[in-house]
Amino acid sequence: MKTNEIRQVVQTRYGKFAAAAGRTVASCCSKPASKACCALEQGLYSGSELSSVPETARNLSRGCGNPTGFANLQTGEVAVDFGCGGGIDVILAARKVGGRGKVYGVDFTPEMIERAKEAVAQAGLPDSAIEFREASLDDTALPDALADVVISNCVINLTPDKDAVYREAFRILKPGGRLAISDILLTGPIDAELRERLQSMWAGCTGGALPEGDYWETVNNAGFSEVKIVARHLLSDPELNEMAHCPGEEYTPSPAANDLDRLSGKVESVKFTAIKPSLGFVV
C-alpha cells in the first residue's frame, strides 16, 4: 500500500470508530481475552486516573500503555500527545502540568478530535488547558522547540513514515526535552510476503509495526539519545488477535489464522523514554 492509502485507511477506520463509540457506551474491549488493544483493561491506568476521565474518552481509549504514568510531567510543562484519539492522555497530562502548563493533542481523524474536545469539556478543564491540532504526525505545523515532552500511546506503529514522525517530534521538542512513548514493535524481521498481507489491516497495530532494530535506529537517526525501556510485554496469542484488528472487528478485518500463527511470539508492546540532547546533536 502507498503512504497516502495507508493514511486514508487508518483515518477512515478510526473515524468510523470515533463516530460510533461516541454514540454507544461499549466498553473498551468487550471480551475477557481482549486486553492487548486496551490499556484500560490491562490495568495500566490507576482507578483515580480513570475516574478523572469522562466516559467518552475511556470508551475510545485504544492505547497500549499509560505514557503520562512515566513521562514525569511537571507543573508548568508543555506536552504534546501524538495521536491523541479520544483524549484520555491529554486530559491526564493537563491535570499534571496544571494551569501554568499546556497540552496539545494532535490527531489526523476529525471525528476523534471532536470526541476529544467533548471529553475535555466534560472533564471540566478550562479551554486554555488543551489545544487540538488536526494534522498528520509527520507535519504537525506546531512551532520549533515548543514542548518539554512528546507523549504517544499506540500510534506511531500506525504511521507509514516513522522517520518523519520522529524527526517531527525532535523538531518540536525543546533542547533537553523528552519522549515518553508506548508503541508496538516486532521482536525481529518477518517475511516480506507476510508483511505485505498484514498491510491490509494497517489500522490494527501489527500492520505497520517495525522490527525492533529498525525501530531504535529510527529513534536514534532522528537525533534522540538515552533511550530507556520502561517496560515491555510480549503479546499472548489472544492479545495479538485482538490487537491485529484494533480498533475493533467491525472496523479492521481479522487476519488469516495462519498469518496470526506466524506472528505469534513476535509482537511486543514497549514503553520507553528518550532525550533530545541539549545541544541538539548526539555526542
Residues of the shown chain interacting with ligand SAM in the complex, contacts defined by CB under 6 A: 7, 10, 14, 61-63, 83-86, 88-89, 107-109, 112, 136-137, 153-155, 158-159, 246
Residue closer to ligand SAM, measured from CB, 17 or 224 = 17
Indicate the pairing of strand 147-153 with strand 173-186. parallel
Tell me the C-alpha distance between 283 and 274, whole Å.
14
Residue closer to ligand SAM, measured from CB, 29 or 263 = 29
Closest CA to 119 of 152, 90, 161: 90
Least Å distance, CB 151 to ligand SAM, is 9
Residue closer to ligand SAM, measured from CB, 36 or 263 = 36
Least Å distance, CB 180 to ligand SAM, is 12
Least Å distance, CB 45 to ligand SAM, is 10
Tell me the C-alpha distance between 125 and 119, whole Å.
9
Least Å distance, CB 265 to ligand SAM, is 22
Residue closer to ligand SAM, measured from CB, 16 or 277 = 16
In sequence order, the β-bridge partners of residue 28 are none
Tell me the C-alpha distance between 152 and 137, whole Å.
11
Contact in structure between 138 and 171 (CB atoms under 8 Å): no
Least Å distance, CB 184 to ligand SAM, is 9
Residue closer to ligand SAM, measured from CB, 83 or 101 = 83
Least Å distance, CB 282 to ligand SAM, is 25
Least Å distance, CB 249 to ligand SAM, is 15
Least Å distance, CB 107 to ligand SAM, is 4
How does DSSP classify residue 206?
T
Residue 17 phi/psi, 5° resolution?
-60, -45
- List alpha helices for the chain, DSSP H: 3-23, 47-51, 55-60, 88-97, 110-122, 162-172, 192-198, 212-221, 237-244, 257-263
Closest CA to 155 of 113, 195, 108: 108
Residue closer to ligand SAM, measured from CB, 102 or 136 = 136
Write 279-282 long-range contacts (CB < 8 A, 24+). 279/175, 280/175, 280/223, 281/223, 282/220, 282/223, 282/224, 282/225
- Chain residue at closest Cβ approach to ligand SAM: 85
Residue 91 phi/psi, 5° resolution?
-65, -45
Give, in order, the Cα–Cα distances in Å from 82 to each of 139, 194, 240, 249.
11, 28, 23, 24
Residue closer to ligand SAM, measured from CB, 84 or 94 = 84
Residue closer to ligand SAM, measured from CB, 129 or 184 = 184
Q: Which cell is 90 given?
A: 491529554
